[in-house]
Amino acid sequence: MSQKGISFRLNSQITSIAILIIAAIVYINYNFSRKILIGKIEEGAINQSNLVISQISRITIGTEEIARNVSHQVFYFKKHNDLDLLLKQVAASNNIIEGIDIELFDHQKKHILKFTSNQQGSSFCDQDSMRINQYARKLRNENAGPDVGFWSDPSFSKLDMLHMLTSYIMPVYDPNTKEIAGIIACQISVNQLNKLLSEIKIGEKGYAFIIDKAGNYLTHPRNDWILSKNLFDKPSINFLENIEEIESNIKNGGRGAGYGVSQYLNNQKAWFYYAPLSNSNWTVIIVFPEKELFREIYLGFQKIILVSGIGLLLLFLLNIFIFKKVLDPLIRVTHAIQGLSSIPGKERKSKNEIKMLADSLEDWQAKYGLLIKNQRKTVIDKLKFEKELLTAQKIQLNIVPSGKPAFQDHPEIDLFAILKPAEIIGGDLYDYFFIDETHLLIAIGDVSGKGIPASLFMAIASTLIKTNAKILSAKDIISRVNNELSERNSNQYFVTLFLGILDISSGMMDYCNAAHNYPYILHADGSLQTLSKSHGLPLGIYKDKIYKSNTLKLQAGDTIILYTDGVINSSDLNNKHYGIEKLEKNIQNLTDLSSEEVVSRLVKSIVIYEGENHQADDISIMAIKYLNKTENQA
């Protein structure tokens, strides 16, 4: 391995990291600048569209105002036989319109008068009566007021097939009958609108055009596309977004922006903005070439790439120079690593830190044997400790009775219990035994903490319960156990405990709950009862505490379910607890089952809920089903 090879590899790695960092910075900067620029582009497009809209609205709104004013004066000038003079004066004094026509009807809707003043020589009144009747019906059906009209579809002039006109149609109301007595049509030149749009500067190659509600081109830089192309059927802009959403937005008079490919710009990518024209069903679309929009970003990006490339080249050359000067001792480090098996005791003299590192590696080889020896001793100690834990586990499991007792002389009781420690040994406890022929003691508790100390405290508590069981009073047994635990509890452990004494002859149970989870009674009819009474603090904290108790009567078929908080604190892979609600819901589905089936199904539901998640706390469950003695014997 040569020094040159080491320096080259290190230099390559450093340069690669530098390239990644610079690339990330350039990428973030480019996207950030692009977002800012897009915001400014949209703001500029809105201003540009407002300019276009204001220019066109000056013509359209002005035309509507002319038609509105004339409609108010028609019958006055008709009465004085000056209607034709009025139209000529209006047409001559308003250069924004191409002409103005009036068609009047009698009460039978027959055409009685028509007046025309048109600069192009083609009149609205020259159109067939079917078109006129169609407009009249539309005005009547829409109940248009005296100041409300609509724009007709554009059409070419009969006298000049290159000249396109559109008319603002407005009703004339009879002042006496208040009914539609005629139609006014103010004509404007669509060619003039197209010329107006072409004179508005939109960047270098940007352009604007107008479409109607159906998507037909009313204006466009290419005259042959006007009325011959449709934005939605054969679009000149191939939208890169949802065309149905854009079409719906345009038809509903909405505003918006997006990206597409412009056919008019030789299939260049372009950004477009659309906005409705007021008082019409037309929409203005402004198109900006992408190259123009992001020219500044592209130029800046190219400069950054150029400067970064030069900087990386200089960094690479500088690193090569530095590595050649500094990394020469690395060869000795390599030789030292390869010579771990060299003879110990060799004299080593050097002031070079890297060389000292190489010599230290040789010393470490001698210490490696001692490390292996200590490691083996640790493994042996660990195995011994694990063996002792297993022994402690067996002792603990012998303290609590077996899960399924054989109460052959007491067929009234069907009992089953289970204990699942979270570790090898735990702090949960349960117990059951007959104090005499008719009284069954049941208890379940949870010691604070886990491991060996908790298991020892559990064993003491279990022994004290048995010692004081002959009292036949749940609260007195708990009081005595609490006093004795408090006297010998220097480590401040405590245990929550539920203890009940059931008279199997009558079904009466005296119970005391020292801050333990509330048990449930699943009645034979499927209803669920919670023993939601707490009679005092956990045991082992304060001596001479007074505990209370309650009694209840069990009916044949009732099942008492006791559990520790490891059940409701079980969690899934998302750390969501099993919880009280899920426990109650599952218990209600366990009617007509034996105590063993009840416990087994609850444990199975917990295991399924936890999935691959590790059990975090000890779990104990006990179920006692009170049976009808005569039925059981039968």
Residue-wise pLDDT tens digits, 189-247? 888 778 887 777 777 888 888 888 888 888 888 888 887 888 877 666 676 667 778 88
Domains annotated for the chain, with CATH where assigned, are 3-192 (3.30.450.20), 201-293 (3.30.450.20), 338-381 (no CATH), 400-633 (3.60.40.10)
Q: How confident is the model at residue 594 (pLDDT cuts 50, 70, 90)?
A: very high
User: Is the pLDDT confidence value at 423 over 50?
Assistant: yes
Model confidence over 151-189: pLDDT tens digits?
Answer: 777 777 666 666 778 888 888 887 777 777 788 888 888
The three-point CA angle 497-502-505 to 5° equals 175
The answer to whether residues 235 and 299 touch, using CB atoms and an 8 Å cutoff, is no
DSSP 558-622: -EEEEE-TTTTT-B-TT--B-HHHHHHHHHHT-TT--HHHHHHHHHHHHHHHHTTSPP-S-EEEE
- Give residue 328's pLDDT: 61
3-state secondary structure of 274: strand
**For the ranges 41-45, 50-54, 139-143, 185-189, which has the lowest average pLDDT?**
139-143
CB neighbour class for 544 (10 Å; exposed up to 12, middle 13-18, buried from 19): exposed
Per the model's pLDDT, the better-predicted residue between 104 and 338 turns out to be 104
The 8 Å CB, 24+ separation contacts for 76-85 are 78/104, 78/113, 83/113, 83/115, 84/115, 84/117
> 103 has which bridge partners?
114, 183
Range of 92-106, 375-389, 464-478, 482-496 with top mean pLDDT:
464-478
What is the chain's alpha carbon radius of gyration, rounded to the nearest angstrom? 48
Work out the number of other CB atoms within 10 angstroms of the CB of residue 220.
23
What is this structure's pTM?
Answer: 0.43
- Give residue 314's pLDDT: 80
Average of pLDDT values for 520-539?
93
User: Is the pLDDT confidence value at 606 over 50?
Assistant: yes
Q: What percent of the chain has pLDDT over 70?
A: 72
d(C-alpha 520, C-alpha 590), whole Å: 12
Q: How confident is the model at residue 607 (pLDDT cuts 50, 70, 90)?
A: very high
The answer to whether residues 401 and 414 touch, using CB atoms and an 8 Å cutoff, is no
Per the model's pLDDT, the better-predicted residue between 551 and 336 turns out to be 551
- Give residue 628's pLDDT: 67
**For the ranges 305-314, 505-514, 561-570, 573-582, which has the lowest average pLDDT?**
305-314
Q: Looking at this protein, which amino acid is placed at residue 144? A: A
- Give residue 332's pLDDT: 58
Q: How confident is the model at residue 475 (pLDDT cuts 50, 70, 90)?
A: very high
Model confidence over 505-519: pLDDT tens digits?
Answer: 999 999 999 999 999
- Give residue 598's pLDDT: 95
Distances in Å between the Cα of 399 and the Cα atoms of 388, 520, 538 are 17, 25, 21
- Give residue 312's pLDDT: 75
- Give residue 74's pLDDT: 82
DSSP 434-468: ESSSSEEEEEEEEESS-HHHHHHHHHHHHHHHHHT
Query: Could you say which DSSP state residue 126 is in?
Result: G
> Helical H runs in 498-553?
none
- Give residue 63's pLDDT: 84
At 303, which helix (H) or strand (E)? helix 295-326
d(C-alpha 331, C-alpha 370), whole Å: 29
Average of pLDDT values for 309-330?
71
Torsional sign, CA 475, 481, 484, 490: negative
Range of 164-168, 395-399, 590-594 with top mean pLDDT:
590-594
The residues, any chain, with a CB within 8 Å of residue 378's CB and separated by 6 or more, are none
By C-alpha distance, which of 504, 511, 284 is closest to 411?
Answer: 504
- Give residue 388's pLDDT: 52
Per the model's pLDDT, the better-predicted residue between 71 and 118 turns out to be 71
The answer to whether residues 149 and 63 touch, using CB atoms and an 8 Å cutoff, is no
The residues, any chain, with a CB within 8 Å of residue 354's CB and separated by 6 or more, are 329, 330, 332, 333
- Give the up-direction half-sphere exposure of residue 384: CA atoms within 13 A in the CB hemisphere: 6
For the record, the structure tokens of 506 come out as 């009558």
CB neighbour class for 384 (10 Å; exposed up to 12, middle 13-18, buried from 19): exposed
Range of 37-51, 257-271, 357-371, 398-412 with top mean pLDDT:
257-271
Cα dihedral value 331, 332, 335, 337, nearest 10: -110
User: Is the pLDDT confidence value at 1 over 50?
Assistant: no
> 261 has which bridge partners?
238, 269
By C-alpha distance, which of 432, 552, 535 is closest to 476?
Answer: 535
Per the model's pLDDT, the better-predicted residue between 458 and 39 turns out to be 458
The answer to whether residues 413 and 626 touch, using CB atoms and an 8 Å cutoff, is yes
d(C-alpha 595, C-alpha 602), whole Å: 11
Over the chain, what is the mean pLDDT? 78
51-82 burial, b for 16+ CB within 10 Å, e for fewer? ebbeebbebbbebbebbbebbeebbebbeeee
The answer to whether residues 170 and 153 touch, using CB atoms and an 8 Å cutoff, is no
Average of pLDDT values for 278-283?
77
Per the model's pLDDT, the better-predicted residue between 307 and 46 turns out to be 307
Residue linked to tokens 């030292």 = 336
Q: How confident is the model at residue 481 (pLDDT cuts 50, 70, 90)?
A: very high
Per the model's pLDDT, the better-predicted residue between 621 and 318 turns out to be 621
> Helical H runs in 400-450?
none
By C-alpha distance, which of 474, 499, 502, 473 is closest to 410?
Answer: 502
d(C-alpha 307, C-alpha 316), whole Å: 14
Q: How confident is the model at residue 549 (pLDDT cuts 50, 70, 90)?
A: very high
User: Is the pLDDT confidence value at 498 over 60?
Assistant: yes
User: Is the pLDDT confidence value at 352 over 50?
Assistant: no
- Give residue 101's pLDDT: 81
Q: How confident is the model at residue 117 (pLDDT cuts 50, 70, 90)?
A: low
Range of 40-54, 81-95, 309-323 with top mean pLDDT:
81-95
